[in-house]
Amino acid sequence: MTHAATAGPASLDRRTLSPEGLVTAGPQPRPIARPEQRPEPRGAANLRETYVPREAYIEAAWQRCRDLYHLDPDHPPPGEHIGGAALKLLREERGLFERVGRVEMHRLLGQINHQVTQSAAAARYVLMLADASGAILDAFTDNANTDSARTANMAPGFLWNERHAGVNGPGTCLHDRRARVVHREDHYFTRNSRMTCSAAPIWGANGTLLGVLDASSLDCDDSRAAQVPTIALVSMSARIIEQMHFTHSYRDCLILRFHERPELVGLPYDSLLAIDEHGTIRAVDSTVPAQLGKADHTALLGRSVAELFDITTDRLFEHAEAEPFAIWPIAHGADRHGFASIWPAKQARPRARTSLPGSTAHSSNGKSSVAARNIAKPHRPAFPSLANFAGTDPVMADNVWRAERVMNRDINILLLGETGTGKDSFARAIHRASERHAQPFIAMSCAAIPEQLIESELFGYEAGAFTGARTGGMRGKALAAHGGTLFLDEIGDMPLSIQARLLRLLEEKEIVPLGSSTPIPVDIRVISATHRDLEALVASNDFRMDLFYRLNGVALTMPPLRARTDRAALIEQICREEASSDITIAPDAQRDLLAHDWPGNLRELRNTMRTAIAFAEGGIIERAHLPRLHSQAAPPPTPPAAIAAIPPDERAHIVETLEQHHWRIAASAAALGISRNTLYRKMHRYGLMADGT
């Protein structure tokens, strides 16, 4: 691995940026020269090699549309739709691709919208995921833009290849197999000449082109150069989809990840190989051939990993068993040094829930779970599986997979997600599944406790430490969690004044109770959770960056209920849990349940089902038993990382509810339809805490 052969976050060397077009390496042969043959500074060769003048690829695309497809710029044919049945089939076939793509698209739309609101000429973007033929599998935009997107044929089933849609982002990107910006008049059809598209190809394992990810604005006044941040975001998301698709597809193999720089192993910049139980390479991702100086994947498949790297197969398996995820040096050939880590094969799971349909691993590599069991057989304790908790949603399955791999290591877990997405429940499930399950799980909500008390609650105090302290002192939560897990909920509300002490606890594994000078060693795992945007809090100096990095050993984002693909199964499960006898959901009620936005997520779903079951007669939940779902338009989703705007009369409403329930927090929160933590937060905000904080 030579220097220029690898990528870093700043330069994204594999995807060289220019307003004229961003070029991804893909599986095209880009042999790596040895240093002595390549004297140019890092990046120079890449730039020369990949710089394509705008006119060249747009001109070439125009020529194809004119001479090959005989299209007339002013008389576009009607949009070509593949038909509902064909779309259904296509989505089933491309199941995994579409599901991982959808997850990433939700994230990307948020990012792009955020970026756009900062720009002078705010434009609405539509995100499209298409397969390799240009058929749209998914299209997302904000509600206000849905109709215009639909009118422009930016909807599932429409074909956006050049043959049907002329020169355009997804079509030209698929033809060129490179990331492309197609800006305004670059488009072939006159009707698209105010549109701008930024599209990046998505590569599957072993040189397969899975499809394309595109962000388009229908009405763009910005310059072509202004599209650079958008194409960078799209390309990064395309790479994230590639990696998710690869690790899901080869879940039964070991995944070897490598990069020249240790800090980039495990991030979207590294390269991935899938290795079976014999140490044979079964699959490589699009970046690997270039990294290893090969023309393409065929020179690598079926070879032993020991032939390519300075590591024996036995040693590799030792790494997988003894220190998965650890990063260690590795060399390929005499002068290519880098770093690698092994992600173990996923366990064969007892239920179909985590075997994602559409995964190519089981059908294409012909190996699957036998190999996985052999690889993954080492000493795992028979603790309850987290998978029981996860459901079949791919993001949740991925969260479980990651959590399982770090829960017994000295790595802190940070759970992110909107209110009610199950962060608290997931933290408890991780503890129950971990080696610490017989030790205490101690939870503390940083939002629920007045600032002055957090310190003593967490660290405890000596007898007589301050006025009002209990005689005999108090053991803090950190010490109470000794040997087990400390769950810090609403960590974003942790006062700055206490963050340094918490950092010390995490770094030195000891606490000094208030009023004492003697440190006490503690052995705890910390899981923290927040619905807030911690990075934004760091940026505004409300949260210490060093603490953020300490807590964020691995961050798992709990998907909102509206984005979960297993909503129907969750509805059934919660219904079963809440009902004392058999219960059925009528089809129109089921439709309402599936269509609802669920701003309160799982909590709201559980409350809704509980109420509906109470109303349901004859064991059938009818539409009329779900009045809140269809009598009012679904409220807009809560922004994931911020507290939603608070209506001006909310304080009065909260006070009134608290009064009605004699200031009992649980009852008031239930009446308001929010969590206790959320209620505490709001009480803080409105100055309603008992001590006036």
Ligand X SMILES: Nc1ncnc2c1ncn2[C@@H]1O[C@H](COP(=O)(O)OP(=O)(O)OP(=O)(O)O)[C@@H](O)[C@H]1O
Return the number of the residue (205 or 563) whose C-beta is nearest ligand X: 563
Return the number of the residue (206 or 678) whose C-beta is nearest ligand X: 678
**Residue from 145, 368, 456, 675 binding ligand X (CB under 6 A):** 675
Rg of the chain on CA atoms, in Å: 27
Stretch binding ligand X (CB under 6 A), from 291-299, 333-341, 347-355, 600-608: 600-608
Binding residues for ligand X restricted to 366-395, rule: CB under 6 A: 389
Contact criterion met (CB below 8 Å) for 310 and 331? yes
Q: What's the min distance (Å) between Cβ of 428 and ligand X?
A: 8
Asked if residue 602 binds ligand X (CB under 6 A), the reply is yes
Asked if residue 678 binds ligand X (CB under 6 A), the reply is yes
Return the number of the residue (387 or 479) whose C-beta is nearest ligand X: 387
Stretch binding ligand X (CB under 6 A), from 83-91, 258-266, 480-488, 602-610: 602-610
- 3-state DSSP assignment of residue 375: helix
Asked if residue 603 binds ligand X (CB under 6 A), the reply is yes
Q: What's the min distance (Å) between Cβ of 676 and ligand X?
A: 7
Residue 344 in tokens: 């173990």
Contact criterion met (CB below 8 Å) for 666 and 676? yes
Asked if residue 669 binds ligand X (CB under 6 A), the reply is no
Contact criterion met (CB below 8 Å) for 166 and 187? yes
Q: What is the 3-state secondary structure (H, E, C) of 644-667?
A: CCCCCCHHHHHHHHHHHCCCCHHH
Return the number of the residue (46 or 675) whose C-beta is nearest ligand X: 675
Residue with tokens 């030792």: 318
Q: What's the min distance (Å) between Cβ of 632 and ligand X?
A: 22
Q: Give the length of the chain.
A: 693
Asked if residue 347 binds ligand X (CB under 6 A), the reply is no
CA–CA distance, 664 with 683 (Å, rounded to integer): 13
Asked if residue 559 binds ligand X (CB under 6 A), the reply is no
Return the number of the residue (103 or 199) whose C-beta is nearest ligand X: 103
Contact criterion met (CB below 8 Å) for 386 and 400? yes
Binding residues for ligand X restricted to 106-145, rule: CB under 6 A: none
Q: What's the min distance (Å) between Cβ of 41 and ligand X?
A: 49
- CB half-sphere exposure, 257, CA atoms < 13 A: 24
Q: What's the min distance (Å) between Cβ of 574 and ligand X?
A: 5
List Cβ neighbours of 54 (8 Å cut-off, separation of 6 or more): 19, 20, 21, 186, 224
Q: What's the min distance (Å) between Cβ of 39 and ligand X?
A: 55
Provide the H-helix boundaries in 487-624.
Answer: 496-508, 534-539, 545-551, 567-578, 587-595, 601-615
- CB half-sphere exposure, 478, CA atoms < 13 A: 27
- Amino acid letter, 577: E
Query: Residues 417-446 vs ligand X: string with x where CB under 6 A?
Result: x-xxxxxxx---------------------
Contact criterion met (CB below 8 Å) for 530 and 492? yes
Asked if residue 574 binds ligand X (CB under 6 A), the reply is yes
Q: What's the min distance (Å) between Cβ of 674 and ligand X?
A: 7
CA–CA distance, 82 with 87 (Å, rounded to integer): 6
Size of the site for ligand X (CB under 6 A): 17
Asked if residue 565 binds ligand X (CB under 6 A), the reply is no
What distances in angstroms separate CA 248 from CA 208, 236, 361, one per listed residue? Answer: 15, 18, 8
Return the number of the residue (369 or 392) whose C-beta is nearest ligand X: 392
Asked if residue 493 binds ligand X (CB under 6 A), the reply is no
Q: What's the min distance (Å) between Cβ of 603 and ligand X?
A: 4
Question: CB burial class (10 A; 0-12, 13-18, 19+) of residue 412?
Answer: buried
Stretch binding ligand X (CB under 6 A), from 273-281, 332-340, 344-352, 673-681: 673-681
Return the number of the residue (80 or 572) whose C-beta is nearest ligand X: 572
Binding residues for ligand X restricted to 520-539, rule: CB under 6 A: 531
Residue 214 in tokens: 């595109």
Q: What's the min distance (Å) between Cβ of 422 and ligand X?
A: 3
Contact criterion met (CB below 8 Å) for 46 and 16? yes
Return the number of the residue (138 or 424) whose C-beta is nearest ligand X: 424
Return the number of the residue (478 or 529) whose C-beta is nearest ligand X: 529
Question: CB burial class (10 A; 0-12, 13-18, 19+) of residue 472?
Answer: exposed
Asked if residue 606 binds ligand X (CB under 6 A), the reply is yes
Provide the H-helix boundaries in 177-284.
Answer: 228-249
**Residue from 286, 677, 680, 683 binding ligand X (CB under 6 A):** 677
Contact criterion met (CB below 8 Å) for 389 and 423? no
Binding site for ligand X (CB under 6 A): 389, 417, 419-425, 531, 574, 602-603, 606, 675, 677-678
